[in-house]
Amino acid sequence: MFGLSAVFCKMPCKIAFATHRNNLGAFASYACWNSDSYLLLATTPPFHERFTLMATVYVTRKSHFNAAHRLHNPAQSDAWNQAMYGKCNNPNWHGHNYTLEVTVAGTPDPETGFVVDLSKLKRVIEERVVDKMDHKNLNLEVDFLEGVIPSTENLAIAIWHQLHDVIPAGRLHSIRLFETERNIAEYRGE
């Protein structure tokens, strides 16, 4: 708490400013007093209480990986697969430069202001998804895709299941996977 001499309402007084903490953040109080009286000018609730107590914020982390795959349903004939998937059914594979967006929803922590610590989220995404998929054949080398036709839609669902239980804070809101600039799948756990 500090005071300084000032003139308030045309009478000499001191002005003080103090902060008070509770579990939601800091309150600021302003007071004016002289030897005969004390006047509380204002008390402001903490920033967190004023602006974010019930606010849901969506935070997105973007990652990239490159991978090869083949769209092929082994339960169907080669003719069916060729007609259904065209060039994407090439037995010699084809690849994409994928962009992954992981969105976490939550209320900002009053102490940090974060919904989720992005460095921790980045580490989880790298360990659980990118390190397992980057420069890999999605049909043959990724354990959590065994038996899955690696369409962009199925990849988004599989990535959700890799992440939903290990998000460091908040809750997983969506997975958006860009196979190309124009081909995007989004999954929200529904």
In this structure, the answer to whether residues 86 and 110 fall within a common structural domain is yes
Distance CA 116, CA 47 (A): 18
Q: Which residues contact 129 (CB under 8 A, 6 or more apart)?
A: 63, 65, 100, 159, 162, 163
Q: Sorting pLDDT into bands at 50, 70 and 90, what band is 3?
A: very low
Q: What is the CATH number of the domain that holds 153?
A: 3.30.479.10
Distance CA 130, CA 122 (A): 10
Q: What is the pLDDT of residue 184?
A: 98
Catalytic, 153? Answer no
Report the predicted TM-score, pTM, of the whole model to 2 decimal places: 0.73
In this structure, the answer to whether residues 105 and 180 fall within a common structural domain is yes
Structural domain span for residue 14: 2-51
Q: What is the pLDDT of residues 111-167, one digit of tens each?
A: 999 999 999 999 999 999 999 999 999 999 999 999 999 999 999 999 999 999 999
Catalytic, 179? Answer yes
- C-alpha distances in Å from residue 105, one per residue of 109, 116, 122: 12, 9, 15
In this structure, the answer to whether residues 155 and 97 fall within a common structural domain is yes
Catalytic choice (88, 101, 141, 173) = 88
In this structure, the answer to whether residues 32 and 66 fall within a common structural domain is no
In this structure, the answer to whether residues 47 and 75 fall within a common structural domain is no
In this structure, the answer to whether residues 37 and 113 fall within a common structural domain is no
Q: Sorting pLDDT into bands at 50, 70 and 90, what band is 40?
A: very low
Q: What is the pLDDT of residue 100?
A: 98
Catalytic, 135? Answer yes
In this structure, the answer to whether residues 19 and 105 fall within a common structural domain is no
Q: What is the pLDDT of residue 52?
A: 47
In this structure, the answer to whether residues 46 and 75 fall within a common structural domain is no
In this structure, the answer to whether residues 76 and 102 fall within a common structural domain is yes
Catalytic choice (64, 94, 135, 164) = 135
Q: Are 5 and 14 in contact (CB under 8 A)?
A: yes
In this structure, the answer to whether residues 179 and 162 fall within a common structural domain is yes
Q: Return the minimum-mean-pLDDT range out of 30-39, 46-55, 74-83, 97-106.
A: 30-39
Q: Return the minimum-mean-pLDDT range out of 26-30, 55-59, 157-161, 169-173.
A: 26-30
Domains of the chain: total? 2
Identify the domain boundary among 32, 51, 70: 51
Q: Phi and psi (nearest 5°) for 94?
A: -155, 165
In this structure, the answer to whether residues 11 and 88 fall within a common structural domain is no
In this structure, the answer to whether residues 73 and 122 fall within a common structural domain is yes
pLDDT at 70 over 80: yes
